[in-house]
Chain A
Amino acid sequence: MMPRSVSGAGTASRAAGERLVAHVLLACTAVAVVALAAVLAVLVREAGLFFADVSPWRFLSEITWAPAAAEPRFGVLPLLVGTVQIAAGAAVFALPAGLMTAVYLDQYAGGRTARLLSGVTALMAGVPTVVYGLFALHFVTPALRVLWPGIEAFNALSACMVVGLMILPTVVVLSREALESVPAPLLDAGLALGAPKGRVVTRVLLPAASGGVLAAVLIAMARAVGETMIVTLAAGNESRLTWSPFEGLQTLTAFLTELGMGDAATGTREFQAFFAVGAVLFVGTYGIHMAGRMLVSRSVGRTGS
Chain B
Amino acid sequence: MNRPAAPADAPVLTAERLGVRFGRHIALRDVSLSIPRGRIVSIIGPSGCGKTTLLRCFSRMNELVSGARTSGTVHFAGMDLYGPDIDPVEVRRRIGMVFQKTTPFPKSVFDNIAFGPRASGFAGDLQGLVEEALTDAGLWSEVADDLDTPALELSAGQKQRLCIARTLALKPDVLLLDEPTSALDPEATARIESIIRALSPRYTIVIATYNRWQAARLSDMTAFLDRGELLEYGLTETLFTNPREARTESYLTGRTQ
Chain A contacts to B: CB under 8 angstroms: 111, 183, 185-186, 188-196, 199, 203-204, 207-208, 210, 301-305
Chain A residues near B89 (CB-CB < 8 A): 194-196
Interface membership of chain B positions 86-119, coded 1 if the CB is closer than 8 angstroms to chain A and 0 otherwise: 0001101100110111111111000000011001
- Output the residue of A111, A190, A208 with the most chain B CB within 10 A: A190
Known contacts A194-B90, A304-B152; is-contact A204 B119 (Cβ 8 Å) = no
Known contacts A183-B101, A301-B152, A305-B101; is-contact A192 B107 (Cβ 8 Å) = no
Tell me the bound Cα distance from A111 to B67 in angstroms.
11
Q: Are A188 and B61 in contact (CB under 8 A)?
A: yes
Option from B97, B103, B116 in Cβ contact (under 8 Å) with A195: B116
Interface membership of chain B positions 170-204, coded 1 if the CB is closer than 8 angstroms to chain A and 0 otherwise: 10000000000001000000000000000000000
Category for how many chain B residues contact A = 20 to 34
Known contacts A196-B119, A203-B115, A304-B152; is-contact A191 B64 (Cβ 8 Å) = yes
Residue ID in chain A nearest B119 by CB atoms = A195
The answer to the question of B35 belonging to the interface, with a C-beta cut-off of 8 Å to chain A, is no
Binds A, one of B40-48, B159-167, B225-233: B159-167
Q: Are B116 and A194 in contact (CB under 8 A)?
A: yes
The answer to the question of B236 belonging to the interface, with a C-beta cut-off of 8 Å to chain A, is no
Residue ID in chain B nearest A211 by CB atoms = B106
Q: Are B104 and A305 in contact (CB under 8 A)?
A: yes
Q: Are A208 and B106 in contact (CB under 8 A)?
A: yes
Option from B61, B64, B103, B120 in Cβ contact (under 8 Å) with A186: B103
Q: Are A193 and B116 in contact (CB under 8 A)?
A: yes
Tell me the bound Cα distance from A305 to B116 in angstroms.
19
Tell me the bound Cα distance from A302 to B105 in angstroms.
8
Known contacts A194-B89, A194-B90, A196-B89; is-contact A189 B103 (Cβ 8 Å) = yes
Chain A residues near B156 (CB-CB < 8 A): 305
Interface of A is mostly: helix
Q: Are A185 and B167 in contact (CB under 8 A)?
A: no
Tell me the bound Cα distance from A199 to B105 in angstroms.
13
Q: Are A186 and B115 in contact (CB under 8 A)?
A: no
Tell me the bound Cα distance from A189 to B97 in angstroms.
8
Residues B112-157 near A (CB distance < 8 A):
115-116, 119-120, 152, 156
Tell me the bound Cα distance from A245 to B56 in angstroms.
54
Q: Are A207 and B92 in contact (CB under 8 A)?
A: no
Shortest A115–chain B CB gap in Å is 14
Chain A residues near B102 (CB-CB < 8 A): 305
Shortest B82–chain A CB gap in Å is 17
Chain B contacts to A: CB under 8 angstroms: 59, 61, 64, 66, 89-90, 92-93, 96-97, 99-107, 115-116, 119-120, 152, 156, 159, 163, 166-167, 170, 183
Tell me the bound Cα distance from A199 to B116 in angstroms.
10
Q: Are A193 and B152 in contact (CB under 8 A)?
A: no
Shortest B155–chain A CB gap in Å is 11
Known contacts A203-B115, A207-B106, A208-B106; is-contact A191 B61 (Cβ 8 Å) = yes
**Further 10 A-B residue pairs, CB within 8 A, beyond A185-B100, A193-B119:** A185-B99, A185-B101, A189-B99, A189-B103, A191-B64, A192-B167, A194-B90, A194-B93, A302-B106, A305-B102
Tell me the bound Cα distance from A15 to B152 in angstroms.
45
Tell me the bound Cα distance from A188 to B64 in angstroms.
8
Chain A residues near B106 (CB-CB < 8 A): 204, 207-208, 210, 302-303
Known contacts A186-B103, A305-B101; is-contact A192 B59 (Cβ 8 Å) = yes
Known contacts A188-B64, A304-B152; is-contact A193 B167 (Cβ 8 Å) = yes
Chain A residues near B167 (CB-CB < 8 A): 192-193
Q: Are A305 and B159 in contact (CB under 8 A)?
A: yes
Instruction: Offer 10 A-B interface pairs, CB within 8 angstroms, sorted by A.
Output: A111-B66, A191-B64, A191-B92, A193-B116, A195-B89, A195-B119, A304-B152, A305-B103, A305-B104, A305-B159
Tell me the bound Cα distance from A199 to B104 in angstroms.
16
Q: Are B152 and A302 in contact (CB under 8 A)?
A: yes
Chain B residues near A303 (CB-CB < 8 A): 106
Shortest A194–chain B CB gap in Å is 3
Chain A residues near B100 (CB-CB < 8 A): 185
Tell me the bound Cα distance from A183 to B93 in angstroms.
22
Option from B66, B93, B119, B170 in Cβ contact (under 8 Å) with A199: B119
Q: Are A186 and B105 in contact (CB under 8 A)?
A: yes
Chain B residues near A196 (CB-CB < 8 A): 89, 119
Tell me the bound Cα distance from A246 to B103 in angstroms.
49
Tell me the bound Cα distance from A204 to B119 in angstroms.
12
Option from B64, B119, B152, B183 in Cβ contact (under 8 Å) with A194: B119
Q: Are A190 and B115 in contact (CB under 8 A)?
A: yes
Residue ID in chain A nearest B153 by CB atoms = A301
Residue ID in chain A nearest B90 by CB atoms = A194
Option from B93, B119, B120, B163 in Cβ contact (under 8 Å) with A189: B163
Tell me the bound Cα distance from A196 to B121 in angstroms.
12
Tell me the bound Cα distance from A191 to B115 in angstroms.
11
Option from A111, A185, A210, A301 in Cβ contact (under 8 Å) with B103: A185
